[in-house]
Every structure is written in C-alpha cells, then in structure tokens.
C-alpha cells in the first residue's frame, strides 16, 4: 500500500457548503454596504482563506477584510454551518479506505472550531484520526503551512502520504510539502484551475475515487 496516510480537504471535498458559505458572505458584504443578491457570484469564496478572498475579490484592505470575516462569523456559526450537504458516497469511500488500513485526516483552511462541528454534524468523526484547521486569528489558513503543521504533529512519512482536495490551494499546498495530490472535479475548482495546479491524479466523482484510488 503506497499511500497509508490520506489528508482530506473539507469544503467541496467531503461536503458541499455552497449555501451556508455564500449566505454568510452575502451577510458580511451587506454589513459593508455591498448588496449581492446572486449567491452564485460568491462561489469563489468556497475554499480559499476568507480574508484573502475579500481582499482579492472585492478589493478590501486588510482591516476591511478582517471586519468582513468577523461579520461572516456572526451568521456562519448560527445558520451557515448547517446549510451544508454531505456528498453522496462519502461514508462508503471513507469506510473502504479505513478497511484497507489507511489513516485518514482532515486538513482544511476552515477554522478548526467550525470544521469539528461539520465533521460531527455529518457523523464523520469515527473515520478520521484528527481534524486540522486554521485558527480564528488566521494562523494556518495557508494550506501549505497547515499541511506542514499536520505532518510534523503526526510524524507522517511524506512518501506514504497524499492530499485530496477540490481547489488549487489544496494541490499547491501539497506540492509545497513534497506530497502528491488528488484533485476532485465534483467540488468548486474549475477544470482549468485544477489542471494548472498539476495534480498527480484527478477523479471526477466520489465513486471514481472509490474504485480507482491510487496506491
């Protein structure tokens, strides 16, 4: 077995958080005086660190971006976190991987305090040895830093570890740590985005990932 340790992204990989995240962003923008009725326009916020997205997508200053993040967190813990759907086939995938003797971890840029709630809510806790996320102050929102921290804490062999995610940040973060990466096409990264990030493997559905998992 080549890949004994598997790092899973959360949003867009294990669960579909579209409604909760986009509504939370919509709420935060409204508090900043920006009205955005089309939730689909806010989909790019799914995956990357929030403060960076407010800066990149709306031109917020660093201070404005963090104000928006704080506003986002007024809505998200109460409502948005539960406006979420687990992708079909995920329990079966995780069950199969665990049955093969692999160790599973969550590696998400979402704050750990929220990631823990999502994992518990969807009854995924038993599948994972640990959940790693960022801190509320922005520490370890960079996926490369997060993965590095996880590898060190768990003392994982890089040659036996692989990252799975739906955005370029997951692939780039893995490669920064000299890990191979699996891109999943059912999340929120476009085909071009994922192709440009050069993952070692790409699967378009959960069932493909289940039947064709490498190593």
142 is catalytic: no
Pairing mode, if any, of strands 85-86 and 181-184? Answer: unpaired
DSSP secondary structure string for all residues of 116-173: HHHHHHTT-GGG-SEEEEE-TTSTT-SHHHHHHHHHHHHT--GGGEEEEESSHHHHHH
Take residue 158 and report the two structure tokens written for it: 């890089």
Using an 8 Å Cβ cutoff, are 125 and 106 in contact? no
Say which of 9, 11, 16, 170 is annotated catalytic. 9
The catalytic residue positions are 9
């Amino acid at each position: 077995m080549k890949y004994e340790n598997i790092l899973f992204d959360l949003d867009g990989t294990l669960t579909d958080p579209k409604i909760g995240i986009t509504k939370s962003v919509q709420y935060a923008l409204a508090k900043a005086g920006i009205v955005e009725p089309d939730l689909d326009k806010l989909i790019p916020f799914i995956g990357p660190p929030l403060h960076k997205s407010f800066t990149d997508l709306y031109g917020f200053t660093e201070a404005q971006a963090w104000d928006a993040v704080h506003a986002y967190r007024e809505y998200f813990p109460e409502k948005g976190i539960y406006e979420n759907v687990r992708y079909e086939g995920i329990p079966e995938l995780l069950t199969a991987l665990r049955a093969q003797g692999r160790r599973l971890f969550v590696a998400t840029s979402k704050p750990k305090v929220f990631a823990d709630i999502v994992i518990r809510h969807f009854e995924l806790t038993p599948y994972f040895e640990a959940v790693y996320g960022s801190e509320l102050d922005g520490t370890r929102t960079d996926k490369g830093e997060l993965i590095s921290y996880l590898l060190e804490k768990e003392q994982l062999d890089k040659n036996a570890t692989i990252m799975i995610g739906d955005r370029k940040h997951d692939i780039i973060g893995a490669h920064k740590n000299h890990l191979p990466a699996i891109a999943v096409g059912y999340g929120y990264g476009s085909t071009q985005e994922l192709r440009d990030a050069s993952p070692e493997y790409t699967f378009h559905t959960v069932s493909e990932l289940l039947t064709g998992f490498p190593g």
